[in-house]
Amino acid sequence: GNSVTQMEGPVTLSEEAFLTINCTYTATGYPSLFWYVQYPGEGLQLLLKATKADDKGSNKGFEATYRKETTSFHLEKGSVQVSDSAVYFCALYTGGFKTIFGAGTRLFVKA
Partner 1 sequence: GAGVSQSPSNKVTEKGKDVELRCDPISGHTALYWYRQSLGQGLEFLIYFQGNSAPDKSGLPSDRFSAERTGGSVSTLTIQRTQQEDSAVYLCASSLGISGDTQYFGPGTRLTVL
Q: Least CB distance from residue 101 to partner 1, whole Å?
A: 4
Between 36 and 84, CB nearer to partner 1: 36
Q: Least CB distance from residue 79 to partner 1, whole Å?
A: 26
Between 62 and 89, CB nearer to partner 1: 89
Q: Which residues contact 43 (CB under 8 A, 6 or more apart)?
A: none
DSSP for 51-102 reads: -STT-EEEETTEEEE-BTTTTB--EEESS--GGG-EEEEEEEE-SSSPEEE-
Q: Least CB distance from residue 61 to partner 1, whole Å?
A: 20
Q: Least CB distance from residue 46 to partner 1, whole Å?
A: 5
Q: State the residues that interact with partner 1 by CB under 8 A.
A: 32, 34, 36, 41-46, 49, 51, 89, 93, 95, 97-99, 101-104
The DSSP output letter for 28 is S
Nearest to residue 100, comparing CAs of 1, 4, 23? 4
Between 48 and 80, CB nearer to partner 1: 48
Between 57 and 80, CB nearer to partner 1: 57
CB of 68 closer than 8 Å to CB of 53: yes
